[in-house]
Amino acid sequence: MSLLYVLLGSALGGLSRYLVMSFFPLSPLANLLVINVGGSFIFGLLYSLIGTNEWRMLIFVGFLGSFTTLSTLSFEVFSLLQNSRYLLALLYACGSLALSVIAVGVGMWVGRG
């Protein structure tokens, strides 16, 4: 049954990512940053609120696993490096990670009320 929750969550997460990118036509780097930081906030917000394994599979593994992505972040940073934009690559990689970690913490803080 967990597989169905992951499949459903993945479909919804991928669709949500597409919709965010369509409604907010920013640069690829800005879109990715918004998606990853927003997904991190949602993770932190819901982490303490979701207790059952089924919901965790649906939200964390399925939805957020499909909505956010490390592979795309890695690709964008690598592309910047290939184009000799070393400082931007470093700032973007470190900034994305730092903002995502902060967003998880803020989400957990908000989720606890």
Average pLDDT over residues 105-109: 94
Query: How many angstroms separate the CA atoms of 105 and 99, rounded?
Result: 10
Return the structure tokens found at 4. 């169905």
Annotated binding residue 68: yes
- Mean pLDDT, the chain, rounded, equals 92
Global pTM value: 0.81
State residue 83's pLDDT score: 97
